[in-house]
Each structure stands twice: as structure tokens, then as C-alpha cells.
């Protein structure tokens, strides 16, 4: 009888990559070294001096956030717990880091990433907020700023919808946030507004009790209109603007993405789309896609092939 052949032990370059990242950050004057918490070494490991003050850690749960803060990590960003590709994890951590001012637009960031359930294997350098022509939280009204918690909550719901769909079926939808007074004239209702008549404190997207309602309404055609403070003004809303950037959008994007591009070009809002066909989440500003968040399905398949 043949003996079972065990898999060779997987080489883990995590410590070497963290050391290299700290050294690289010093050489290029990077403001941050970004890594997800699940890639940090366990035990008594402490960041070396080159990482001190630069380390930004991404996590997915409140428990991880509390533990990291208790352990003395000052720059922690919580991202949606849904399975995202390694690049999407980095992108959403940078995006939410910008909204919470843990990162600043234009800062140089050294990023570390890895495949699902694998050690770190990728190191690269980027600029926080590259592609943004205006700050993400600014609106067309100088007196109004998008609440960073609101933006983070919408991204979290969008990522969950892209990953889970609704009752096992894929869902596509569109969220429009901020600059409501300029957005409203460019819309019309496709259905009776399900949020009409409710007190503002009962229709704020930061209320967890609304999550399932929002996911159910996402199956209806049209957009959600959300004020900068998180109050949901309407759902099932049609956007009338047809403006598009001069260079257009990448091929393969449909009407939902065109509507997101048009409304953000015509006003100072931010739009977030969920693709029904791929689950990809796109964030639009000034008519352009400023970041794309892919689900981890392709990476999971890659890991399975290697096993």
C-alpha cells in the first residue's frame, strides 16, 4: 500500500516582506505601510522601528478592531467582512482610510497583500486617492460634507450585495450620496417612494435595522438617493442626466454605470454601483471610476487549483 504523500510546507515570506516594506517606506518617504490583520505575525511580534508610525492595519470585524486598538495599533481601518480579492481589500482600506483621515490624499503608501488563505506574496507602491480630482467627501455645496461613516456603510452594503445577492440571486443596484439639492432635479420616481413620510431618524442608512430593507429594495430598478448625513430620500429613482466624460467609460459597462458616471459629472455627489453580472462594486466621482472592488471568487479558484 502506498504511503500518503504530504504537501511540502508552504514557505512564508511574511516577516521578510514586512521588513522590506519598512525599509522601502523609509527610502521613498512613504507615509504608510498597509497590511491586513490576518497577515500580521502572531505571538510577540512587534513592528520594527522602520514601521513605527507608518503601519496601517486593515481588519474586518469589531472584535479585530478592538483587539488591535488595545494592542497599541493607532492606525486601523475596518473594511466590509465580505470576501474580496486581495487588490480590492487594499483599495477599500485606502478608500475608507481617506474618509476617516487615517490616510491623506496623495500620500505614498507601500501595500502588502496575499491570496486567500495564503502568506503575503505581493508588495507594491501606490498613492492614496490617485484618480480623485476632488476630495471624496466634498460635495457641490461648500457647506456640506459627506459623513465618512455614511460612505463606509454604503460601501459595506454594496460589497455584501455583490457577494451575496438576494435570496441566492445576483443583484445590481446604484447608490447616490450627497449634493442632494442638485441631484434631486435630475431625477424622477419609477415607483412610489418607500421612504416617503417616515421621520428622518427612521430612514438613516447608519441604522442597522434598515439593512435588510435596503437589500430587499435593491432588487427594484432605480437608484437610492442618500443625503450626506445618511438620511435616505428615496429608492427606485430614475436618474435623468445623460452626461458622460469626454473619454467615455470602459467597454462592457451598462446603463447603471453610465447613470452613475453622468450624475457624478453633473453634480458633486458620489455614486456606488453593484454589478448584477459580476458582483463588482465601483465608486464614481466626477464622472470617473475612482476605485473598483472585485469579489474573491477568482482568487479562491486559483487557490483550489494549487491544492
What's the CATH code of the domain at 166? Answer: 3.40.1700.10
The SS3 of residue 225 is strand
Find cell 456606488 and name the residue.
272
Residue 32 belongs to domain with CATH number: 3.40.1380.20
Domain residue limits at 120: 14-127
Are both 161 and 253 inside the same structural domain? yes
- Span 23-32, pLDDT tens digits: 999 999 999 9
Are both 94 and 153 inside the same structural domain? no
297 and 101 in contact (C-beta within 8 Å)? no
Q: With bands split at pLDDT 50, 70 and 90, how would you rate the model's confidence at 260?
A: very high
CA 123, 40, 51: angle at the middle one, nearest 5? Answer: 65
Q: What is the pTM of this model?
A: 0.84
Are both 224 and 293 inside the same structural domain? yes
User: DSSP for 128-192?
Assistant: TTTT-SS-TTB-SSTT-B--HHHHHHHHHHHHHHHHH-BTTB---EEEEES-HHHHGGGEEESS-
CA distances from 253 to 90, 108, 177, 276, 280 (A): 23, 30, 21, 11, 11
pLDDT recorded at residue 86: 86
In a domain, 9, yes or no: no
- Span 227-254, pLDDT tens digits: 999 999 999 999 988 766 656 667 777 8
Q: With bands split at pLDDT 50, 70 and 90, how would you rate the model's confidence at 301?
A: very low
* Domain total in the chain: 2
- Span 126-138, pLDDT tens digits: 999 887 878 888 8
Structure letter (DSSP) for residue 6: P
In a domain, 7, yes or no: no
Are both 110 and 183 inside the same structural domain? no
In a domain, 306, yes or no: no
In a domain, 109, yes or no: yes
Residue 115 pLDDT greater than 70, yes or no? yes
Are both 93 and 221 inside the same structural domain? no
Amino acid at each position: 500500500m502506498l504511503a500518503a504523500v504530504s504537501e511540502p510546507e508552504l514557505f512564508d515570506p511574511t516577516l521578510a516582506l514586512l521588513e522590506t516594506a519598512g525599509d522601502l517606506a523609509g527610502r521613498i518617504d512613504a507615509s504608510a505601510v498597509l497590511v491586513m490583520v490576518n497577515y500580521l505575525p502572531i505571538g510577540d511580534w512587534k513592528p520594527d522601528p522602520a514601521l513605527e508610525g507608518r503601519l496601517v492595519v486593515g481588519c474586518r470585524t469589531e472584535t479585530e478592531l478592538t483587539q488591535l486598538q488595545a494592542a497599541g495599533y493607532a492606525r486601523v481601518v475596518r473594511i466590509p467582512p465580505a470576501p474580496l480579492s486581495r487588490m480590492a481589500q487594499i483599495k477599500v482600506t485606502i478608500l475608507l482610510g481617506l474618509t476617516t483621515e487615517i490616510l491623506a490624499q496623495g500620500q505614498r503608501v507601500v501595500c502588502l497583500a496575499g491570496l486567500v488563505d495564503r502568506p503575503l506574496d505581493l508588495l507594491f507602491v501606490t498613492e492614496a486617492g490617485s484618480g480623485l480630482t476632488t476630495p471624496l467627501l466634498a460635495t457641490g455645496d461648500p457647506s456640506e460634507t459627506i459623513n465618512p461613516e455614511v460612505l463606509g456603510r454604503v460601501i459595506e452594503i454594496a460589497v455584501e450585495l455583490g457577494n451575496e445577492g438576494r435570496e441566492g440571486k445576483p443583484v445590481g443596484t446604484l447608490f447616490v450620496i450627497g449634493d442632494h439639492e442638485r441631484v434631486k432635479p435630475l431625477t424622477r420616481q419609477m415607483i412610489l417612494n418607500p421612504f416617503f413620510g417616515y421621520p428622518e431618524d427612521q430612514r438613516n442608512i447608519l441604522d442597522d435595522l434598515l439593512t435588510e430593507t435596503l437589500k430587499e429594495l435593491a432588487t427594484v430598478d432605480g437608484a437610492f438617493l442618500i443625503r450626506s448625513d445618511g438620511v435616505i430620500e428615496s429608492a427606485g429613482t430614475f436618474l435623468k442626466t445623460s452626461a458622460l466624460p469626454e473619454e467615455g467609460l470602459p467597454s462592457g459597462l451598462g446603463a447603471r454605470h453610465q447613470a452613475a458616471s453622468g450624475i457624478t459629472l453633473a453634480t458633486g455627489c458620489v455614486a456606488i454601483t453593484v454589478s448584477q453580472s459580476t458582483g463588482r462594486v465601483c465608486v464614481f466621482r466626477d464622472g470617473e471610476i475612482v476605485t473598483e472592488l472585485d469579489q474573491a471568487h477568482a482568487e479562491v479558484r486559483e487557490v483550489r487549483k494549487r491544492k
